[in-house]
C-alpha cells in the first residue's frame, strides 16, 4: 500500500464508519467526469463524490477563480464586507424565487439547515419542526435529528422539537395509493393530520428536500409541494426548502423548486453552488424573515461565513454554468440519455424495480422480486448482492453511489452524452453480473 493509504489508516478518523474494516480508495487526481486512483485506474464518477461536483472536477475557470482570490485576499472576518461574498450573494439571489432578498453563508449544508431552523423558530416564536422520514438534512445536532434515515437513530435525542411524517412515494406507498393523484392527496391529508395532532401553534417550520436525495431520489407528485405551501400558509408555518443536493443544476434547473412553481420562505443550499471546491453552504432568506432581523440582532454566526475563497469559487461556478449552458446540459442528458437509457435497462434487468429521477439525478430501486418489491438490501444496511454490484461497477470503470438497496446515477452536470452512455454500459454489465440474486418469477 502507498504512503497516502498508510497515513490515512493510521491518523484519519472517517465519518459514518466502523474504523477497523475500512479500505479507502486513494484518489490521486481528477478531471471532468473522471477520477484516477493511485494505481492509475481511471473511473467515471457516477457519484459526483457526494453528489456535489456538479461542474465536474478541476473546472479551469473555478480553479482560476480560487487562485485569483488567494492572491488578493485569502480570508477575512465575516463582519467585514468583501467583494467575493457580495457577488456570490447577488448571483444566488438572481437565481432564487422573487421573494428572496438575503443570503447567510455557512460552511456546508448541515449548518445551513441548522441556521434556517433557528431563523424559523425565532421568526415564529415556536419550537417544533416537521420533516419527512425519508430524508437527510445533515450530520450536525439539529440537522441529524431532523433527518429521517437510519443515521438519525444513534444521534436521536428524543426531544419534542422534531416530528417526522411520511412524504409521498407511490412505489412504496404508506397510503395504499394506486395513482400519483391519490398518493398526493393522501400524503397531504396525513401531513395536515400530523399538524393538527402536534398543535399548529407549536410548529415553527416544515423542512423538505424538494426532491429527497440520499433517501432515494423521489420527485414529488404534481401538486404536493403546492399543497405543502398552502398548509404552511394556513397554519402560519415556515416552509424551508432543502436544496442542498438537488440545487444548482442537478435536476436540470437552477433549483429543483423551479420544476414545481412553489415559493418557500427559506432555502438551504451547498454542494453544487461551487461543487465543493471550497466548503460553502448557505440560507436564502425571504424578505419577510429578513425583516424580522432588521432591528433585532440575529443570534448566530460563523468565523468562516462568506469565506472569500469559497465565495470566489461560487462566483466562478455560477458564472461558468451560465456561460457554458451546464444547467441546460444536465436537463438534456436526463431527457435524452440517462432517462431513456435507465428505463431501457429496467426492461432487461428484473432487478430494477423502479427508475426515478430527472436531470443528472437518478436512482434505481433494486429488488430481488418485482412482485413483492423486496429490496435487494435491508433498510439501513447492505447485502452481498449490493457489495457485488459495487465491485462489478468499479471493475467496469465506474465510481458508484449506492445506498441500502439503491444505485444512484448522479454524474456531474457537465457529463457528455458519450460519457453518460459509457456509464450506462457499465451499469448494464454490473447488473448482469449480479442477476443471479433475482429470486422472482
Do the beta carbons of residue 288 and residue 122 sit within 8 Å?
no
Residue 144 has pLDDT above 90, yes or no: no
Whole-number average pLDDT of the chain: 96
Residue 379 has pLDDT above 70, yes or no: yes
Q: What backbone torsions phi and psi does residue 67 show, to the nearest 5 degrees?
A: -65, -45
HSE-up of 332 (CA within 13 Å, CB side)?
10
Domain boundaries, the chain: 3-58+325-437, 61-323
Q: What backbone torsions phi and psi does residue 115 show, to the nearest 5 degrees?
A: -75, -35
What confidence category does residue 141 fall into, taking pLDDT thresholds of 50, 70 and 90?
confident
C-alpha cell at 317: 461556478
At 225-244, the pLDDT tens digits run 999 999 999 999 999 999 99
Residue 209 has pLDDT above 70, yes or no: yes
**What torsion, rounded to 10 degrees, do the Cα atoms 257, 173, 361, 134 define?**
80
Residue 145 has pLDDT above 70, yes or no: yes
Mean pLDDT on 52-68: 98
Distance set, CA 37 to CA 48, 235, 344, 390, 412 (Å): 15, 53, 31, 16, 18
Quick one: fold of 61-323?
Answer: 3.40.640
The predicted structure's pLDDT at residue 13: 96
The predicted structure's pLDDT at residue 279: 98
Mean pLDDT on 49-55: 98
The predicted structure's pLDDT at residue 160: 65
CATH class name, domain 3-58+325-437: alpha beta
More confident residue, 221 or 159: 221
pTM: 0.96
Residue 43, beta-bridge partner list: 35
The predicted structure's pLDDT at residue 151: 83
Q: CA 158, CA 105: separation in Å to the nearest integer? A: 29
CA 342 to chain centre: 20
Mean pLDDT on 111-133: 97
Lowest mean pLDDT among 112-121, 160-169, 191-200, 224-233: 160-169
The predicted structure's pLDDT at residue 146: 86
Residue 95 has pLDDT above 80, yes or no: yes
Share of the chain above pLDDT 70, in %: 100
At 308-318, the pLDDT tens digits run 999 999 999 99
Lowest mean pLDDT among 106-110, 138-142, 308-312, 398-402: 138-142
Mean pLDDT on 264-278: 98
What confidence category does residue 149 fall into, taking pLDDT thresholds of 50, 70 and 90?
confident
Residue 154 has pLDDT above 90, yes or no: no
The predicted structure's pLDDT at residue 400: 97
Q: CA 329, CA 205: separation in Å to the nearest integer? A: 34
Amino acid at each position: 500500500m502507498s504512503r497516502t493509504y498508510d497515513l490515512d489508516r493510521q491518523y484519519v478518523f472517517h465519518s459514518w464508519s466502523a474504523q477497523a474494516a475500512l479500505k479507502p480508495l486513494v484518489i490521486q487526481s481528477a478531471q471532468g467526469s473522471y477520477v484516477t486512483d493511485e494505481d492509475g485506474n481511471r473511473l467515471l464518477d457516477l457519484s459526483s463524490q457526494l453528489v456535489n461536483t456538479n461542474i465536474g472536477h478541476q473546472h479551469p475557470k473555478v480553479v482560476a477563480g480560487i487562485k485569483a482570490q488567494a492572491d488578493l485576499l485569502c480570508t477575512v472576518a465575516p463582519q467585514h464586507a468583501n467583494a467575493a461574498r457580495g457577488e456570490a450573494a447577488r448571483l444566488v439571489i438572481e437565481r432564487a424565487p422573487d421573494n428572496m432578498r438575503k443570503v447567510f453563508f455557512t460552511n456546508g449544508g448541515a449548518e445551513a439547515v441548522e441556521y434556517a431552523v433557528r431563523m424559523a423558530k425565532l421568526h415564529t416564536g415556536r419550537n417544533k419542526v416537521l420533516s419527512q422520514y425519508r430524508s437527510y438534512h445533515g450530520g450536525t445536532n439539529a440537522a441529524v435529528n431532523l433527518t429521517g434515515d437510519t443515521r438519525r437513530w444513534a444521534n436521536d435525542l428524543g426531544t419534542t422539537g422534531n416530528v417526522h411524517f411520511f412524504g409521498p412515494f407511490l412505489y412504496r406507498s404508506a397510503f395504499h395509493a394506486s395513482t400519483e393523484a391519490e398518493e398526493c392527496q393522501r400524503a397531504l391529508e396525513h401531513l395536515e393530520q400530523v399538524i393538527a395532532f402536534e398543535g399548529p401553534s407549536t410548529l415553527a417550520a416544515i423542512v423538505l428536500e424538494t426532491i429527497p436525495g440520499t433517501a432515494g431520489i423521489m420527485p414529488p407528485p404534481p401538486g404536493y409541494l403546492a399543497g405543502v405551501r398552502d398548509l404552511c400558509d394556513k397554519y402560519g408555518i415556515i416552509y424551508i426548502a432543502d436544496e442542498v443536493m438537488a440545487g444548482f443544476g442537478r435536476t436540470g434547473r437552477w433549483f429543483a423548486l423551479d420544476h414545481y412553481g412553489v415559493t418557500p420562505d427559506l432555502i438551504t443550499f451547498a454542494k453544487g453552488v461551487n461543487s465543493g471546491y471550497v466548503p460553502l453552504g448557505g440560507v436564502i432568506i425571504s424578505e419577510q424573515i429578513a425583516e424580522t432581523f432588521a432591528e433585532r440582532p440575529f443570534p448566530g454566526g460563523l468565523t468562516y461565513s462568506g469565506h472569500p475563497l469559497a465565495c470566489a469559487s461560487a462566483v466562478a461556478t455560477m458564472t461558468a454554468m451560465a456561460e457554458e449552458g451546464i444547467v441546460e446540459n444536465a436537463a438534456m442528458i436526463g431527457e435524452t440519455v440517462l432517462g431513456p437509457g435507465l428505463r431501457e435497462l429496467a426492461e432487461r434487468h428484473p432487478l430494477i424495480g423502479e427508475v426515478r429521477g430527472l436531470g443528472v439525478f437518478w436512482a434505481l430501486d433494486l429488488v430481488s422480486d418485482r412482485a413483492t418489491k423486496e429490496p435487494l438490501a435491508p433498510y439501513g444496511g447492505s447485502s452481498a448482492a449490493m457489495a457485488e454490484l459495487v465491485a462489478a461497477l468499479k471493475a467496469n470503470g465506474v465510481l458508484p453511489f449506492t445506498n441500502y438497496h439503491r444505485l444512484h446515477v448522479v454524474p456531474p452536470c457537465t457529463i457528455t452524452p458519450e460519457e453518460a452512455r459509457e456509464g450506462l454500459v457499465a451499469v448494464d454489465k454490473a447488473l448482469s453480473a449480479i442477476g443471479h440474486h433475482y429470486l422472482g418469477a
